[in-house]
Amino acid sequence: MLRGALIGCGFFAINHLHGWRDARGAEIVAICDRSPERLRLAGEQFGIAARYSDAAEMLAREALDFVDIATTAPSHRALAELAASHGLAVICQKPFAPILADAKAIVASCDKAGVPLMVHENFRWQSPMQKVKAVLQAGEIGEVFWGRVSFRSAYDVFSGQPYLAEGERFIVEDLGIHALDIARFLLGDALNVSARIKRVNPRIRGEDVATMLLDHGNGVASIVDCSYATQNETELFPQTLLEIDGSKGTLRLGANYQMTVTASGKTRHVDVSPPLLPWASRPWHNIQESVALIQQHWVDCLDQKREPQTSGRDNLKTFALVEAVYLSAREGRTVHMSELLT
């Protein structure tokens, strides 16, 4: 049984703890948070007695195999490097770091220490996304040449995550990052990107609308768009909708997890709704299931000495897209990924 420690017991970490309780082959034996209240609540809810306010003290005292960092981005580099210095495998929540240079430094530190590193980029692990990927891989709609990954909502994310209203960067860094990763997952890495961003909500500091055009090479292009300023007739948070066109047909992932595949003159409709895990609650169940799935993937990868799908190295390509989007919007030009990923 792998022994893990969780750093950060806030809003989202509760999902991690549920996921770890379900995971086969790993358990969380110690937790850490600077907030005594959050530490107490998480410790009591999950029956974890080893509680620390200081990560360095926890890593010095506990016998561990891995560390799961579920704090917000400003602390990721220091905590990941601390864990690597103890020879521990590292999971780091998204966004990987505040800036690309820090993300690259984390990858370098883990490489130097020879420890596995995974970014907890869970959206591609949502079961509807996995089912879409399987249809594409089976070749049912032929060669894919166009896609759209879309997340448009007016859900109040700020009540659960107040820091989202305070940063200079908002939707691309926090939510667009997932949509960009899904675009990479389904359509391949991007060669260049062009983007426009905008703030609609006057009560927040960062942008809440983004429109991005990705060139995936070989004539494959996608639109990735996200908004927290879009009042739909039915609020779909936190669903990501997809449109994918291929040489033999089309795939659509519409509202309420309904997938439509049209190929060779025939259309089939498939309900790809995620399961409601016993500890999950709507509308978050889609995300909650993906937390359990990515954490099981991590355990399996450590066990089989495989690189996780969203390893640090892999996630640099998603994180660089975030940087490229801000650069493109600021300078009003297309940004080539080679400018950032040399």
Contacting positions for ligand 89V (CB under 6 A): 157, 161, 174-175, 178, 238
Residues 114 and 7: their CA atoms lie apart, in Å, by 21
Query: Between residues 91 and 107, which has the closer beta carbon with respect to ligand NAD?
Result: 91
Query: Between residues 178 and 285, which has the closer beta carbon with respect to ligand 89V?
Result: 178
Residues 3 and 191: their CA atoms lie apart, in Å, by 39
Task: Indicate the helix (H) or strand (E) that contains 249.
Answer: strand 249-254
Q: From the list ligand 89V, ligand NAD, none, which binds 73 (C-beta under 5 to 8 Å, kind-based)?
A: ligand NAD
Q: Does 8 participate in binding ligand NAD (rule CB under 6 A)?
A: yes
Residues 195 and 341: their CA atoms lie apart, in Å, by 18
Residues 59 and 29: their CA atoms lie apart, in Å, by 12
Q: Does 287 participate in binding ligand NAD (rule CB under 6 A)?
A: yes
Cβ 196 to ligand NAD, closest distance in Å?
A: 23
Cβ 231 to ligand NAD, closest distance in Å?
A: 22
Q: Which residues contact 138 (CB under 8 A, 6 or more apart)?
A: none
Query: Between residues 52 and 96, which has the closer beta carbon with respect to ligand 89V?
Result: 96
Cβ 314 to ligand 89V, closest distance in Å?
A: 18
Q: Does 9 participate in binding ligand NAD (rule CB under 6 A)?
A: yes
Q: Does 201 participate in binding ligand NAD (rule CB under 6 A)?
A: no
Question: In this chain, which of 4, 5, 6, 13 binds ligand NAD, going by CB under 6 A?
Answer: 13
Location of structure tokens 């009560």: 203
**86 three-state secondary structure:** coil
Question: In this chain, which of 5, 7, 28, 280 binds ligand NAD, going by CB under 6 A?
Answer: 7
Question: In this chain, which of 72, 126, 315, 328 binds ligand NAD, going by CB under 6 A?
Answer: 72
Hey, how many other C-beta atoms are within 10 angstroms of the C-beta on 269? 11
Hey, how many other C-beta atoms are within 10 angstroms of the C-beta on 234? 6
Length of the chain: 342
Tell me, what amino acid is at 7? I
Query: Between residues 11 and 46, which has the closer beta carbon with respect to ligand NAD?
Result: 11
- Scanning 27-35, 193-201, 223-231, 275-283 for contacts with ligand NAD by CB under 6 A, the matching segment is 27-35
Cβ 142 to ligand NAD, closest distance in Å?
A: 32
Residues in region 35-64 near ligand NAD by CB under 6 A: 35, 38, 55
Phi, psi of 39 (to 5 degrees): -65, -45
- Scanning 3-11, 104-112, 139-147, 310-318 for contacts with ligand NAD by CB under 6 A, the matching segment is 3-11
Query: Between residues 246 and 312, which has the closer beta carbon with respect to ligand 89V?
Result: 312
Query: Between residues 43 and 95, which has the closer beta carbon with respect to ligand 89V?
Result: 95
Q: From the list ligand NAD, ligand 89V, none, which binds 175 (C-beta under 5 to 8 Å, kind-based)?
A: ligand 89V
**Measured CA angle at 110 (ends 31, 326), to 5 deg:** 90
Q: Between the CA of residue 238 and those of 147, 215, 226, 288, what are the distances in Å?
A: 19, 26, 11, 11
Residues 227 and 238: their CA atoms lie apart, in Å, by 11
Cβ 316 to ligand NAD, closest distance in Å?
A: 16
Cβ 208 vs Cβ 201: under 8 Å: yes
